[in-house]
Chains A and B, each alone.
Chain A
Amino acid sequence: MKTFFSGKAWVYSDNVDTDVIIPARYLITSDEKSLAKYCMEDIDETFASSVLKGDIIVAGNNFGCGSSREHAPLSIKGSGISCVIAKSFARIFYRNAINIGLPILECAELDGISKGDIIEIDLSKGSITNKTKCETYHAKPFPEFLQELIAVGGLVPYVRARLAEKKAC
């Protein structure tokens, strides 16, 4: 799994909900590339057309609140975003992102990041470097069980292994 990312920052405020990440009118597919065309449309019309592969979303508190739609992290992943960093995540979005393999980090000190800043992220160290402003921030480590889940490649390989164990018993 890739653990180093570099890209420009797309900065959003607190409480970005999954209805604006991907409006329900587009939930007639779960294909991430199809969903990506409309990602963030209702709060940022420029996002889907201008986002570049590797870019990073930087957000405030409670990112991904509201609906449980996994289409939200899927649309972000499909758009080419390499990682979402936020002061905090809503709990269903947090689980969904880990499950579908969209890298996320929680970090309290993100106020210094402006739109367009070049950000480098080292997932293995949990470090976030703002190359534009020459600052480094440190992310909150994942709980042990989630580190294991991420290390095996997410929930799908984890369940596949558990099912094989059950069969062997």
Chain B
Amino acid sequence: MSMTLAEAIIAKHTKDRVEPGTICQVNVDFAFANDITAPPAIKEFRKMGAIKVFDPMRCAILPDHFSPAKDIASAEQIKECRTFANEQGLLFWDVGRVGVEHAFLHENGLVLPGEIILGADSHTCTHGAMGALATGVGSTDLAAAWALGETWLRVPETMKVSFEGTPSEWVCGKDMILALIGKIGVEGARYMALEFHGEALAELDLDDRFTLSNMAIEAGAKTGLINPDEKLLKYANERAARSFVPLFADKNANYAKSILIDVTNMEPQVAMPHTPDNVKAVSEVTGMPIDQVFIGSCTNGRLSDLRMAAKILKGKKIHKNTRLMIIPASYEVYRAAMNEGLFDIFLDAEATISTPSCGPCLGGHLGILAAEERCVSTSNRNFVGRMGSSKSEVILASPMVAAASAVAGHICHPREIV
């Protein structure tokens, strides 16, 4: 039978029959949690009567959400993670080493092509860009995977998304994924896998591909897969922490649905409050005043994202009524951005640069919004109260639109600034 990439990966990990809709018991290659989801997972792991995780080198805790600890309660949660990690000998990195989980893991070769990855975080789908079936679960499911090295998965139908054409210099991966979510809606791919294809996809650098896969969940998808190509395999081989066997979709695989997105005349896209599918072209909302801009997160906190922002910010200062928070997603990104001189551009523009963390993305810390404030953010969700007050607003955009808006003090197209 011809298989989609999701089906091919599941088939490699199960003895059960693989076809869309069936439930399979699968082996898990890597299972991780963060400082918010690990404590409940630890509690359930004990309730299950489990003594040891299935393989400590394939289990990890990454304290990235409320770290560096933002208050006493968060410090207690991180301490619980640290204690459990020491007891089990599983992978754990403290502040100064850890980054945002969905940037740190692929940088360190811990998520690899052809694998099944479970993370107690919905944006685990980011690692679909590595050619891995990576999906988010809750803490109890994660605890079960730690205990057994297995989980159950319903084989998803696959939606093929082809990005064709040549984008303008102001359009990047973020605009492409926002355009897709705007087209199919927040439940357009519910229970399905997305599989990204097309000439515009092939041209994207890896950072932009992670952005695409990262927001698959915002269309309700289980994962957002990309078939490995030479660029990806070179990256994976240079970093792999263990051996791996890449898998690919068959040429004549059966897709439940196919969608074409032409990027040739695409404008930069923004998602207006309070849902990621409320997508508009930036020109439709130009001029809307803003109070804050956040550039970072597992969606857009990688080196190319910071380079895009720097290209816009070079030699400029942000608007006097605006503040700009920049958070590199990992120390690798942090050091590279610093060495390239990007920090000088950001500091000259009067931005803040914080240590790697999820920060304000989920309303944690390092830039929370007050009532009636509006923020342009490169993150992935603009739900009510997501970044602070339930009376604040979040607009999702690319690093270029975000940087340009910080300079203008209102939403604007980056070409107006450069």
Contacts and interface: CB of A to CB of B under 8 A. Distances in A.
B267 interface: no
Given A19-B384, A29-B73, A145 B23 contact: yes
A42 interface: yes
Given A155-B141, A156-B47, A24 B362 contact: yes
B137 A92 contact: yes
A160 B143 CA distance: 11
Interface stretch (A1-9, A58-66, A110-118, A122-130): A58-66
B363 A159 contact: no
Interface in A17-33: 17, 19-20, 23-25, 27-30
Contacts of B74: 28
B220 interface: yes
B139 interface: yes
A67 B48 contact: no
A43 interface: yes
Given A28-B74, A66-B122, A88 B138 contact: no
Interface stretch (B34-42, B232-240, B403-411): B34-42
B272 to A, nearest CB: 15
B79 interface: no
A19 B187 contact: no
A41 B217 CA distance: 24
Interface residues of A, number: 47
B66 interface: yes
Interface of B: 23, 36-37, 39-40, 43-44, 47-50, 65-66, 71, 73-74, 77, 120-122, 124, 136-141, 143-144, 147-148, 152, 154, 186-187, 190-191, 217, 220, 222, 275, 362-364, 381, 383-386, 390
What are the 10 tightest A-B residue pairs by CB atom distance, in nearest-first order?
A28-B73, A96-B138, A70-B138, A99-B140, A30-B40, A42-B390, A62-B187, A42-B385, A68-B122, A159-B48
Given A28-B77, A30-B43, A160-B47, 4 more contacts: A15-B186, A68-B136, A69-B138, A91-B191
